[in-house]
Amino acid sequence: MKKNFIYTLLFLFCSFSVFNAQTAEDKKEISIAVTDILKGFQTKNGDLMNKYMNPTYGIGILYKSGGDLGFVLNEEVDLNRSLGYIEKTWNIRNQFPIQFDTTFEYDAKNQKWKKEGLSVQFNSNAVNAYADKFLPQYSVKDQEIFKINSSPKNVVFVTLAENSKEKAPINGFRFVMTKIEGKWFLTFIDVTEYDAE
């Protein structure tokens, strides 16, 4: 009985160590990717962002029009084209260190973040939450880009919460990364805080 207890503890300890090692590796990979993606957006370097694109799934741009949620699927990030209904990319400062599992709240009425910072949320259910907000006639859950994001354990939601000094369509930058076949990819850009109408 005592041996079984010791073996059980040893098994749990080893399992926990492996889990932590994977999390540490994921944090390292995500940190590098988030830094590159934000730098790419800040410097209008689509190539830097596209190195995190999965050619099979592309990238979804989530936006709002007249209060309704919509999305377009692109093969790559092209900063010369509009993002949803946003005609041009906006400026970000990108000055904050990454905070893991912190959330920042957006004040839609005043169109600004209540607190600024850079958040990376592991195990995010963000894409499923978006899918639930689409009008019933749009079967987005059947589309591959949504299917690969259906398991929160493979989804990271990134929020750069910063308020622009000048008038801008959007403050900060939000996007989703998804682990596909062991590698993290940029799968969604969220511009839903700007309503086209």
**How far is CA 74 from its chain centroid?**
16
Cα-Cα-Cα-Cα dihedral sign, residues 84, 85, 88, 90: negative
Q: pLDDT tens, 184-196?
A: 999 999 999 888 7
CB atoms within 10 A of CB 36: 16
Give whole-number Cα distances, 190 to 15, 84, 86, 126, in Å: 35, 9, 11, 10
- Higher confidence at residue 1 or residue 66? 66
155/83 Cα distance (integer angstroms): 21
Residues near 7 by beta carbon (within 8 Å), at least 6 away in sequence: none
Note the pLDDT of residue 137: 81
118/95 Cα distance (integer angstroms): 9
- Hunting for tokens 């910072």 — which residue is that? 117
Q: pLDDT tens, 118-169?
A: 999 999 999 999 999 998 888 898 999 999 999 999 999 999 999 987 777 7
| C-beta of residue 156 within 8 angstroms of C-beta of residue 127 | no
Q: pLDDT tens, 3-12?
A: 444 444 444 4
73/188 Cα distance (integer angstroms): 9
For the entire predicted model, the pTM comes to: 0.86
